[in-house]
Chain A
Amino acid sequence: MNCSKAQRLFDDLSRDRLPEQLSRELRQHLDDCTDCRVMEQRAARLQRLLALKRHEQPAPEYFHNFLNEFHNRLAETTERVGVWEGIIARMENALTVKPGHTWRYGFAGAMATVLAIGTVWMGVRQPGQPAAVTGPSAAARSPLTFASDVLPAPQSTPKSIAATLPAPSEIVPAGSVLIMPATSRAEPSTPRYMLDHIAITPASYEVATSVHF
């Protein structure tokens, strides 16, 4: 038996709580090891010293009124309790009755559940797809609708539009901006403009060196 193990068994030895074999080994170790013997004597003395605290007691009449005080306090706490006080009192009560690690386990469990649900949700949802909207029945159930489901199909294709228009070179000179009204696209919507070409002429507020006044 080593010293560390022996020192942890002093308490059980002093209270005769050790099995016969272990007790014999410990006593043998104490006979052989001076350090442990001194430690054992100090530990026994400390126990006797602490046991003296049992004598610190209030006077016998101290408890005579204890039950009445309990009734009064109980009545006070129940009379003055409001809604929020009641909720807070119940929460405090639950925290007091149950030790802290019970709530830690509960919190960890709740977090794990949230994490699992989140993982499943992200796994089901495909990249680039709207989540959980598949088929007409799903569309009917969902409050969300998509523009392609509601708006009418375009009445003309880009090729047919291009065939009806004159060539850009016939309308505007090269280097200027071509603005084409949307009414030419045969869509009965409000006019829109398509910006096809922008003349690349960087704007500058610096005085050009080639300009002479």
Chain B
Amino acid sequence: MKLSQKLKLGFAAQGEAARRPAHAAPPEEHTIDLRHEDDETLVTRAQRGEAAAFDVLVERYKERLYATVYHMTSNHEDANDLVQETFIKAYKSLNGFRGRSSFYTWVYRIAVNRTINFLKRRRNRNQYSLDDADSGIQTDPDFVELMSHVTPRREVGLNELQQRLNEALQKLSEPHRAVVTMHDVQGMTHADIAKVMKCSEGTVRSRLFYARQQLQALLSDYL
């Protein structure tokens, strides 16, 4: 069989699976609530062509991936596109997933690599989305403390703070930004970040150290 035919058949099969909504799964599978299955089981089922299993994985991780990508790009539209593309790539590459790492680490790695590539291409186009902080920030003790220290010289509003944070983060190199986002914003451990970025924990610590030094200089008004 020609390569082109194989490709067409492969993608046609994936397209068929993609078009099939979760409720169109075979009747006997309706009885199993996939939402309570662990990642490994869901991946195995998805690899066998069960699209509903992959849907559960998408639902499970979309918000966490979105948050990471958003904090790296500072733009909601870009973040949405990148997360969608990440799940599409993950779905198409699912048969190549051998389970050497967890599904979450694997899909996270795809998202971070795609975002870093995207940021390298986008370098000169910075558009921030600034109107999205939730109401919880008003009661965050750190935000309250920050506002209580406001002096006439550094009056700071929520939007200004967001803008300054985003601008400062955008000045970091892409790998440094990724590490800061995963560690300081998302609260991931050094070991998990090292797995996602496929580097040593020492490299993660080093990147974090230099990124923070740069951020301290850029945000000295607030420190």
**Which A positions have Cβ atoms within 8 angstroms of B?**
7-8, 11, 42-43, 45-59, 63, 66-67, 69-71, 73-75, 77-79, 81, 83, 86-87, 89, 93, 96-97, 99, 101-102
Contacts and interface: CB of A to CB of B under 8 A. Distances in A.
A186 to B, nearest CB: 63
Q: Could you tell me the dominant secondary structure of chain B's interface residues?
A: helix
Interface string B115-158: 00100000000000000111011001011011000000000000
A143 to B, nearest CB: 31
A73 B18 CA distance: 9
Contacts of A42: 216, 223
Contacts of A51: 142, 184-185, 187
A86 B11 contact: yes
Interface residues of B, number: 64
Given A50-B184, A70-B84, A99-B113, A57 B19 contact: no
A52 B96 contact: no
A56 B93 CA distance: 31
B89 A93 contact: yes
B212 interface: yes
Interface in B175-189: 180, 184-187
20 contacts: A8-B209, A43-B212, A46-B216, A51-B184, A51-B187, A52-B143, A53-B71, A53-B165, A56-B71, A56-B134, A58-B132, A66-B58, A74-B91, A78-B14, A78-B15, A78-B18, A83-B7, A86-B11, A93-B92, A99-B198
A73 B215 contact: no
Contacts of A101: 198
Contacts of A74: 14-15, 18, 88, 91
Given A46-B212, A53-B165, A99 B109 contact: yes
Contacts of B209: 7-8
Given A73-B85, A97-B113, 4 more contacts: A11-B205, A42-B223, A67-B59, A83-B8
A58 B110 contact: no
B210 to A, nearest CB: 11
Interface of B: 3-4, 7-8, 11-12, 14-15, 18-19, 21, 55, 58-59, 62-63, 66-67, 70-71, 76, 84-85, 87-89, 91-93, 96, 109-110, 113-114, 117, 132-134, 136-137, 140, 142-143, 145-146, 161-162, 165, 180, 184-187, 197-198, 205, 208-209, 212, 215-216, 219, 222-223
Contacts of B222: 45, 49
Contacts of A79: 15
Nearest to A74: B18
A86 B14 CA distance: 13
Given A43-B212, A87-B7, A99-B113, A75 B18 contact: yes
